Amino acid sequence: MNERLGRGLEALIRDIPESTNQATGITTVRVDHISPNRYQPRKTFDTSKLQELSDSIKQNGIIQPIIVTKKDDSDYELIAGERRLEAAKLAGFEEVPVIIRSVSKKEQLQFAIIENIQRENLSAIEEARAYQQLVEEFSMTHAQISEIMGKDRVTITNSLRLLRLSPEIQDYIVSGNLTAGHARAILQVVDEHQEGFAKYLAVNNCSVRQAEELSKTWEQPQTHIRQQQIKNHSHDIEETELKQLYRVNVKIDDKNGRGKIIFKYSSEEEKKQLLEQLMKQ
């Protein structure tokens, strides 16, 4: 294994063969001669950010060359720089500056993962799938992956645990409706209730802390405990909305559909403003 992998893309750029280019070690290749990296872990792009990068490239050009490997024919395959390549295409570029490297399949996947993780462009699920690919295709252990990626072994193991979730739940994470923190809370719930729990978290925009608390007893469906959890969370939302509307603290005391709403003011001025707003309703 190439020991330079843990140092990231800088190692690639420093190790340019002298025969590549006497001046800079950089050549230019037509974009239609560069095929995607078959091991690219990222499957989706943020279109708005890609457009921002494209606009920047139009103004400033491609500052950091794209890294490719030579294929058997006259074409090239991408190693690192997919976003730059896609943004260059979007900007109308027909050619891009590249550095040509000869790498193994394992290194090709590793460099693609390193680039995306260093730039925080992968979703938690895409990152987990990339680690799984290293495990399945290259028989790497969690410890070996952690060493290459510069992450703790437990972090790698926890990331891979996300793949135990159903495809539907994984989609929530890829789309950004839920985070890896929510996913860890979902994993605490028994399998048959995970999808319902995930949907509840997404629909109600629950925080990770709320998800962690709800996960402790969510596996007891239709019990008084779960019903009370949902009711309490609903009250929290309602209290927050009332607080924002009337600009005072609000407490909802509800018992079986009957109760009271308590407005708490801390000054005569707050009391006056509250009364004015209530009389307008």
Q: Which of 66, 81, 73 is nearest to 29 (CA)?
A: 66
Could you tell me which residues come within 8 angstroms of residue 190 by beta carbon, excluding any fewer than 6 positions away? 219
Residue with tokens 């001046």, as numbered in its chain: 23
**Amino acid at position 11, single letter:** A
Report how far residue 16's alpha carbon sits from residue 67's, in angstroms, rounded to the nearest whole number: 11
- Closest among 84, 35, 30 to 58, alpha carbons compared: 84
d(CA 125, CA 41): 10
Q: Which of 3, 52, 82, 86 is catalytic?
A: 82
Nearest alpha-carbon partner for 98 in 111, 112, 113, 80: 80
Cα 47 to Cα 53, 87, 136: the distances in Å are 10, 10, 31
Can you tell me the distance from the alpha carbon of 280 to that of 129, in angstroms, rounded to the nearest whole number? Answer: 56
Q: What phi and psi values does residue 231 have, to the nearest 5 degrees?
A: -65, -45
82 part of the active site: yes
Q: Residue 67, Cβ neighbours under 10 Å: how many?
A: 24
Q: Are strands 76-80 and 95-100 parallel, antiparallel or unpaired?
A: unpaired
Alpha-carbon distance of 25 to 269, in angstroms, equals: 71
Active site residues: 82
